[in-house]
């Protein structure tokens, strides 16, 4: 698969940006920012594959910018471009998360070669991450990938004041299915349900994951309770329409699912606002994960309510629950 990489050049000096643009011409799509805050805003809108970062900038300098980038996008390589030649600054940049250095004035072939090396390494890393984030049986995302994506989408939703919807889905009486039809047919059933989910939640920002056993989760960026509930109803109907025989289900003579729906607009984290967002961001990682767990727990409660009400149905959490996340 051929994809164009996107490289972000950050420097407060337009002449330095121009020199780097010449050096990197043809390696990918180049975009630029003249300050740290602008760079972060640009990345929030459309993530990039690699960042070249000037160390010495007014306001948010390269070190603080790098720290923020690493908090939000730990996998994006950052190369420092610096006039500082001393080891103190080099160590400081590496500690802030940089993968490499180039020195000013730049030597175009050297910059180009180094950027090429890091793009190749990054592509390999992305491949490994994709493999480690995939469920081997169904080919959809696994729980680890879901957890990572939940944190990213949660932060995006907080920035953009958008809701984040979540479905928890369970195949009804699946243990009885496995006991009667055997594990080979059971695995096939899981694959078929996973395919239905992947086909129905396919917008950018949607993620379908196997949560464990016969349980699936669907992350729906931008979906409120109503939107997420509507999709859940369609998924229920689509699984029913597969008409996979299940003679020992207490619900229907074929395979059905129960779905719990939750949604919330994440509260903006005040410590992430403004130019000195970096100082607090390390401390914020855990709370985001905890708040994401709350959303998962709410969808799970709704799922149990759907089961308690007779299975083969959708239960949407009470709107009051959804106000604060
Ligand atoms: Mg500068």
Query: How many angstroms is it from 57 CA to the middle of ligand 1?
Result: 4
* Residue 104 maps to a domain: yes
Query: How many angstroms is it from 30 CA to the middle of ligand 1?
Result: 19
Which of 82, 107, 132 delimits the end of a domain? Answer: 132
Which of 132, 165, 188 delimits the end of a domain? Answer: 132
Residue 189: what pLDDT? 97
Give the SS3 label for residue 78.
strand
Indicate if 223 and 152 belong to the same structural domain: yes
Query: How many angstroms is it from 55 CA to the middle of ligand 1?
Result: 6
Residue 126: what pLDDT? 83
* Residue 206 maps to a domain: yes
* Residue 200 maps to a domain: yes
Give the SS3 label for residue 29.
strand
Query: How many angstroms is it from 82 CA to the middle of ligand 1?
Result: 8
Residues of the chain with pLDDT under 70: 1-3, 268-286, 320-325
* Residue 16 maps to a domain: yes
* Residue 138 maps to a domain: no
Query: Domain with 318 in it: what CATH number?
Result: 3.30.70.270
In this structure, which residues have their CB less than 5 angstroms from ion ligand 1? 12, 54, 56-57
- For the entire predicted model, the pTM comes to 0.65
Per-residue exposure over 105-142, b if at least 16 CB sit within 10 Å of its own CB, e if not: ebeeeebbebbeebbeebeeeeeeeeeebbbeebebbb
Residue 130: what pLDDT? 77
Count the domains in the chain.
2
Query: Domain with 27 in it: what CATH number?
Result: 3.40.50.2300
Domain containing 208: what range?
143-322
Indicate if 181 and 156 belong to the same structural domain: yes
Indicate if 299 and 261 belong to the same structural domain: yes
Indicate if 15 and 74 belong to the same structural domain: yes
* Residue 179 maps to a domain: yes
Provide the token pair at 242.
């597969």
Indicate if 164 and 91 belong to the same structural domain: no
Which of 78, 110, 132 delimits the end of a domain? Answer: 132
Indicate if 115 and 174 belong to the same structural domain: no
Query: How many angstroms is it from 163 CA to the middle of ligand 1?
Result: 38
Where in the sequence numbering do the catalytic residues fall?
214
Indicate if 121 and 150 belong to the same structural domain: no
Residue 243: what pLDDT? 97
Indicate if 152 and 260 belong to the same structural domain: yes
Indicate if 204 and 112 belong to the same structural domain: no
Indicate if 75 and 11 belong to the same structural domain: yes
Cα 251 from Cα 277, distance rounded (Å) = 52
DSSP 8-state class, residue 272: G
Residue 161: which residues within 8 A CB-CB, separation 6 or more? 265, 268
- Compute φ and ψ for 112, nearest 5 degrees: -60, -45
Query: How many angstroms is it from 12 CA to the middle of ligand 1?
Result: 5
Rounded (5°) CA angle 120-122-124: 75
Indicate if 118 and 205 belong to the same structural domain: no
* Residue 257 maps to a domain: yes
The alpha carbon torsion through 177, 180, 181, 186 (nearest 10 deg) reads 30
Residue 112: what pLDDT? 96
Query: How many angstroms is it from 58 CA to the middle of ligand 1?
Result: 8
Query: How many angstroms is it from 88 CA to the middle of ligand 1?
Result: 18
* Residue 137 maps to a domain: no
Query: How many angstroms is it from 89 CA to the middle of ligand 1?
Result: 14
Residue 321: what pLDDT? 60
Cβ atoms of residues 179 and 246 within 8 Å: no
Indicate if 127 and 232 belong to the same structural domain: no
């Amino acid at each position: 698969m051929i994809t164009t990489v996107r490289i972000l050049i950050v420097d407060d000096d337009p002449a330095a940006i121009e020199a780097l643009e010449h050096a990197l011409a043809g390696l990918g799509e180049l975009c630029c920012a003249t300050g740290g805050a602008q760079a972060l805003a640009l990345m929030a809108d459309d993530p990039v594959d690699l960042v070249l970062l000037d160390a010495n900038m007014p306001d948010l300098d390269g070190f603080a910018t790098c720290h923020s980038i690493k908090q939000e996008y730990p996998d994006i390589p950052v190369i420092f471009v610096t006039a500082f030649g001393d080891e103190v600054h080099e160590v400081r940049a590496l500690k802030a998360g940089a993968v490499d250095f180039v020195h000013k004035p730049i030597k175009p072939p050297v910059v180009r070669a180094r950027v090429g090396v890091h793009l190749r390494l990054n592509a390999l890393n992305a491949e490994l991450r994709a493999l480690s984030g995939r469920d081997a049986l169904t080919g959809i995302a696994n729980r680890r990938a879901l957890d990572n994506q939940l944190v990213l989408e949660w932060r995006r939703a907080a920035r953009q004041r958008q809701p984040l919807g979540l479905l928890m889905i369970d195949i009804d009486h699946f243990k009885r299915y496995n006991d009667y039809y055997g594990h080979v047919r059971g695995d096939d059933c899981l694959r078929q349900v996973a395919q239905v989910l992947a086909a129905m939640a396919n917008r950018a920002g949607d993620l379908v994951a196997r949560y464990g056993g016969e349980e699936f989760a669907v992350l729906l960026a931008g979906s409120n309770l109503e939107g997420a509930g509507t999709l859940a109803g369609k998924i229920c109907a689509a699984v029913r329409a597969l008409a996979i025989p299940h003679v020992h289900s207490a619900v229907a003579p074929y395979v059905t699912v129960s779905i719990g729906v939750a949604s919330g607009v994440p509260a903006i984290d005040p410590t992430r606002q403004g130019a000195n967002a970096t100082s607090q961001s390390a401390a914020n990682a855990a709370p985001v994960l905890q708040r994401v767990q709350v959303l998962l727990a709410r969808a799970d409660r709704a799922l149990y309510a759907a089961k308690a009400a007779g299975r083969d149905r959708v239960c949407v959490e009470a709107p009051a629950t959804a106000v604060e996340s």
